[in-house]
């Protein structure tokens, strides 16, 4: 009898292993934008859908396309601008889902920040100064530039350099930059440290429901793993629903993967999670980027979303 039971258990385990997708490594920058993935991992939604997902941080959003192509990660969380520039440059990537979108409840989750003592008090004061962004061409970089354009300020008169989120406060304190474009949870830490103060919350200038972070993969990986894509989308949808309904629990999930202290995360707003991605959303980004001459050719957004 014991042999029969052992044999049955072994068969069950082998069957379960056979159904499981191969392990997936997913990378995002350490912000609240990938909260749906953090929740899906921490709350067991990935496992529920047969996925073994390892989440690893990445310092600069602009490094994600190269990591995807090299297969060091299978899914990444690039900003739409980084994603579209990579495609425009010849990389064959597809969007799987949206991680976070603009929302009027989270407009103050990002800001341009002036170094304490820099003399920068208003948006036009950034002209002639050096501003650190978390990736040239990344979401915050592009939308801060768009805010400058909306307010009739030439972005070409501001010097932009790349500064990772964790080093922004030190860069301000040391005078390496006169300002940064930051987001939570790092924005609150900069203010609390006294190294900088917000100048404008540029997300307030934007329409609602536009993607801030996408989940993307190479087309080759997505086509080779249609079941994995479907299961990933299902888990992310559950993660997004959890994020929207349980911001306090989501902060625990964010802390588990970003290693930021829960006390720091306690007071910040979590980015609004919305899993669906549409051609219309990508078209909006193409329009913004073409207005900033950030795309060289015509991007066919209808081909950039992995099939359902």
What pLDDT is stored for residue 184 in this prediction?
A: 82
Instruction: Supply φ then ψ for residue 65, to 5 degrees.
Output: -55, -45
Q: How far apart are CA 287 and CA 189, in angstroms?
A: 33
Number of Cβ within 10 Å of residue 171's Cβ equals: 22
- Topology (CATH) of 21-103+208-303: D-Maltodextrin-Binding Protein; domain 2 (3.40.190)
How far out from the chain centre does Cα 62 lie?
11
Question: Which strand (E) or helix (H) includes residue 289?
Answer: helix 279-291
Instruction: Supply φ then ψ for residue 122, to 5 degrees.
Output: -140, 170
The tokens describing 22, both together, are 């191969």
What pLDDT is stored for residue 4 in this prediction?
A: 47
Is there a contact between 109 and 225 (Cβ–Cβ < 8 Å)? no
Q: How far apart are CA 61 and CA 85, in angstroms?
A: 12
Burial class (CB in 10 A: 0-12, 13-18, 19+), 105: exposed
CB-based contacts of 221, cutoff 8 Å, min separation 6: 68, 71, 74
Q: How far apart are CA 140 and CA 182, in angstroms?
A: 7
Number of Cβ within 10 Å of residue 191's Cβ equals: 17
Is there a contact between 144 and 133 (Cβ–Cβ < 8 Å)? yes
What pLDDT is stored for residue 233 in this prediction?
A: 98
Q: How far apart are CA 124 and CA 304, in angstroms?
A: 36
What pLDDT is stored for residue 12 in this prediction?
A: 47
CB-based contacts of 155, cutoff 8 Å, min separation 6: 145, 148, 149, 292
Extract the runs of DSSP E, i.e. beta strands, from the chain. Answer: 24-28, 53-57, 75-76, 93-101, 110-115, 130-133, 159-162, 179-183, 196-200, 211-218
The CATH 3.40.190.10 portion of the chain extends over 21-103+208-303, 107-205
Residue by residue, pLDDT tens for the chain (308 residues) are 445 444 544 544 444 444 545 799 999 988 889 999 999 999 999 999 999 999 999 988 889 999 999 999 999 999 999 999 999 999 999 999 999 998 887 788 889 999 999 999 999 999 999 999 988 887 889 989 999 999 999 999 999 999 998 999 999 999 999 999 998 878 988 999 999 999 999 888 888 899 999 999 999 999 999 999 999 999 999 999 999 999 999 999 998 888 877 777 777 778 899 999 999 999 999 999 998 999 999 999 999 999 98
DSSP alpha helix (H) spans, 246-274: 247-258, 262-265
What CA–CA distances, in Å, run from 111 to 83, 150, 180, 219? 22, 15, 8, 34
The CATH number of the structural domain formed by 107-205 is: 3.40.190.10
């Amino acid at each position: 009898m014991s042999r029969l039971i052992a044999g049955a258990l072994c068969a069950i385990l082998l069957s379960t292993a056979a159904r499981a997708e191969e392990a997936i490594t997913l990378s995002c920058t350490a912000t609240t934008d990938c909260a749906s993935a953090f929740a899906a991992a921490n709350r067991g939604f990935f496992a529920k859908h047969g996925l073994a997902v390892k989440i690893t941080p990445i310092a600069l959003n602009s490094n994600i396309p190269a990591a995807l192509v090299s297969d060091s990660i299978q899914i990444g969380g690039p900003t739409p601008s980084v994603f579209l520039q990579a495609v425009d440059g010849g990389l064959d990537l597809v969007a799987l889902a949206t991680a976070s979108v603009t929302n009027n409840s989270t407009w103050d989750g990002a800001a341009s920040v002036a170094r304490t003592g820099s003399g920068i008090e208003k948006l036009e004061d950034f002209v002639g100064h050096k501003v650190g962004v978390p990736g040239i061409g990344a979401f915050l970089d592009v939308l801060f530039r768009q805010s400058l354009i909306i307010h009739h300020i030439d972005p070409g008169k501001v010097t932009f350099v790349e500064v990772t989120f964790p080093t922004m406060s030190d860069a301000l304190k040391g005078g390496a930059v006169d300002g940064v474009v930051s987001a939570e949870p790092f924005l609150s830490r900069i203010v609390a440290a006294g190294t900088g103060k917000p100048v404008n919350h540029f997300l307030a200038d934007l329409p609602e429901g536009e993607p801030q972070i996408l989940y993307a993969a190479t087309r080759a990986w997505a086509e080779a793993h249609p079941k994995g894509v479907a299961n990933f989308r299902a888990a992310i949808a559950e993660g997004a629903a959890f994020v929207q309904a349980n911001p306090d629990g989501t902060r625990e999930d964010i802390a588990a993967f970003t290693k930021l202290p829960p006390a720091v995360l306690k007071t910040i707003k979590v980015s609004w999670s919305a899993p669906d991605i549409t051609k219309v959303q990508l078209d909006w980004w193409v329009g913004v980027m073409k207005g900033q001459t950030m795309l060289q050719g015509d991007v066919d957004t209808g081909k950039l979303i992995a099939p359902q």
